[in-house]
Amino acid sequence: MRVLITGVAGFIGSHLCERFLEEGFYVIGMDNFLTGSPDNIAHLFGNKRFHFIHYNVVNYIYIDGPVDLVVHLACPASPVDYMNHPIHTMKVDSLGTLNTLGLAKLKKSRYVFASSSEVYGSAQVHPQPEDYWGYVNPTGPRSVYDEAKRFSEALCMAYHREHGLDVRIARIFNTYGPRMRKKDGRVIPTLVEKALKHEPLPVYGDGLQTRSFCYIEDMVDGLFRLSVRENLEGEVINLGNPQEITILELAKEIIRMTNSSSDIVFLPPRPDDPRRRCPDIKKAKRLLDWSPRISLQEGLESTIKWFKGL
Ligand code: NAD
Ligand code: UDP
């Protein structure tokens, strides 16, 4: 089986690639290193079943030979990254999605799209089930990401309905772990990095907004199951850990776990920062027989250890 993974040099892509290789797949990885790094995949270059193509998926994609599965992960995922690259973000999750879907149609591949909990926007329903349509500001600073993901989901479903393509959509909730960039701006790497340096931890707004954090190993397992199980054509599935926590509690926990002398500094709230976010994962349990196994405590321990080793 040959799988194409776009965004392979990123945080999730590099871990998912390892899993496919472990399971005996041949992986073609594609990345332009916008927010990923060759360091994340350098250890895979000696593997005969791994082939890397340095490429921007916004352009027409040509692959020689068969492709059984396409997993489209390429896209900046951190709010800081996608706000720094607003147009690129919109291109990679419109033109990039179109190109990868076109390739999947040509090669008769299965197609998995990495969507996001951001399609729910500032959700008015809690926790968020897949049949909630969301509450998104279409022109705010986060819209470049939210609307591109929503457009991509619609495009996936159009290819499914018009061409019978076997598409599956993963709505990924906040995921963390080793290989996140220290300075990617997402909350866990930022707070861990600051705590380890005994510098103040920045918390936006009152810190009472919530997130639910999934450890990378659990996310990879969910994405792998979504990719290989039969009879999931056209399904949209939330993947995330329903253990919800406020950002203030998270900051305090990170200070405690790193024995840090850092204080917490409150900064003005980010525009359109969702107030509460927590996945309803009943569908993932039912269709994938999947639920996260790693608690926030355990996941943070491994992540802190990794950041200490950098
Ligand atoms: P990441 O930024 O670490 O990885 C994205 C990768 O895509 C990077 O290696 C980057 O260089 C690559 N890329 C960007 N534009 C590209 C282009 N035009 N052509 C080729 N490669 C390109 O982010 P991540 O956390 O690994 O996220 C991966 C996917 O999962 C993204 O689609 C993201 O939207 C989705 N997602 C992630 C989370 C999360 O919490 N990590 C949550 C929801 C959704
Ligand atoms: N956040 C914070 N300090 C930081 C980074 C983020 O308080 O240094 C908050 C942010 O305002 C949001 C939450 O943490 O409420 C998660 O932010 P992140 O950028 O990780 O991703 P998001 O879930 O917003 O996409």
Beta bridge partners of 171: 115, 238
With a Cβ cut-off of 6 Å, ligand 2 is lined by: 78-79, 174, 185-187, 190, 202-204, 209, 211, 247, 270, 273
How far is the CA of 275 from the CAs of 121, 146, 245, in angstroms? 10, 16, 11
pLDDT in tens, 124-143: 999 999 999 999 999 999 99
Ligand 1, atom nearest to 8 Cα: 9
Arithmetic mean of pLDDT, 260-266: 98
The catalytic residue among 145, 159, 176, 215 is: 145
pLDDT in tens, 70-120: 999 999 999 999 999 999 999 999 999 999 999 999 999 999 999 999 999
Active site residue 132: no
Ligand 1, atom nearest to 72 Cα: 32
| Residue 279 neighbours by CB under 8 Å, 6+ apart | 117, 127, 128, 171, 173, 212, 238, 239, 240, 241, 242
Substitution site in 73, 87, 118 for ligand 1 pocket (most atoms within 8 Å of beta carbon): 73
- β-pairing, 244-246 vs 210-212, is antiparallel
Percent residues over pLDDT 70 in the chain: 100
Ligand 1, atom nearest to 179 Cα: 3
What is the domain partition of the chain in residue ranges?
Answer: 2-176+214-242+278-293
CA atoms lying within 13 Å on the CB side of residue 204: 14
300, containing H or E segment? helix 296-309
191 CA distance to ligand 2 middle (Å) = 10
State the pLDDT at residue 26.
Answer: 98
Substitution site in 192, 247, 275 for ligand 2 pocket (most atoms within 8 Å of beta carbon): 247
User: Confidence band (pLDDT; 50, 70, 90) for 279?
Assistant: very high
Ligand 1, atom nearest to 9 Cα: 9
State the pLDDT at residue 224.
Answer: 99
Please determine, for residue 204, whether its predicted confidence score (pLDDT) is greater than 90: yes
186 CA distance to ligand 2 middle (Å) = 6
Closest C-alpha to ligand 1, atom 20 = 31
Closest C-alpha to ligand 2, atom 22 = 79
pLDDT in tens, 33-81: 999 999 999 999 999 999 999 999 999 999 999 999 999 999 999 999 9
State the pLDDT at residue 310.
Answer: 86
50 CA distance to ligand 2 middle (Å) = 34
Residue 91: other Cβ atoms inside 10 A: 19
Q: 132 in the Ramachandran plot: left (φ > 0), alpha (ψ -120 to 50) or beta?
A: beta
Q: What is the pTM of this model?
A: 0.98
Closest C-alpha to ligand 2, atom 17 = 187
Q: Which CATH code is given to the segment(s) 2-176+214-242+278-293?
A: 3.40.50.720
